[in-house]
Structure 1
């Protein structure tokens, strides 16, 4: 089995982290209301963005494999969590409780084929399956754009 290793480095000051991922820089910060300067997306929004990006990449791999006419996708993803957990309250989990994913698929394919693409993508997406393994409730809806 082929294994891949992914590495990032981060330099942090205050709430801001400048993260290097290969030749790319990602800035993660918090809004002023959370003590940051709002110079980048917050970490939780970045996690949801990673989910959208990963689902798109895997969907493109799968579409190629099954001969699916994938012309593009757009995602709306919403995550819900109880902030008391990340603020340190015992007994409250500090990660997402529920994530809703709505995908609009630009295609000439049928709704049945869209659902086939969705199911195959969700089974293979490392970010999606990571959330699932953590017990996050995942509500997904893929439909034709």
Structure 2
């Protein structure tokens, strides 16, 4: 899969004719949703334990869930998320839209997504204030 993505990235860089920049940024990893889901499973498990069914199996499952939550918290603190962004330029909005479509077509399996204004503002802020966390 990594090789396919690298080949696709190489293809994009060769076939996309207009000026393009590739920027990489590290950001904090946000695993809040996964942690919340694991906590919900843990609460459900504890509820079942209070009913007294399959206690031994449920205790093992609880231990596993607690370990997974701790691992997610550790990953959130220790592993930054590496993201890549293509920057394209255009003189007019129509030119920019055309180049955007061209980039999306040539990107193939990379799974590029356009950024919404709010996300774009955050990224531009990060790019211009690298020491500000």
TM-score, normalising length: structure 1: 0.29
TM-score, normalising length: structure 2: 0.31
Structure that is richer in strand per residue: 1
The structure showing larger relative contact order (alpha-carbon pairs under 8 Å, at least 6 residues apart) is: 2
Structure that is richer in helix per residue: 2
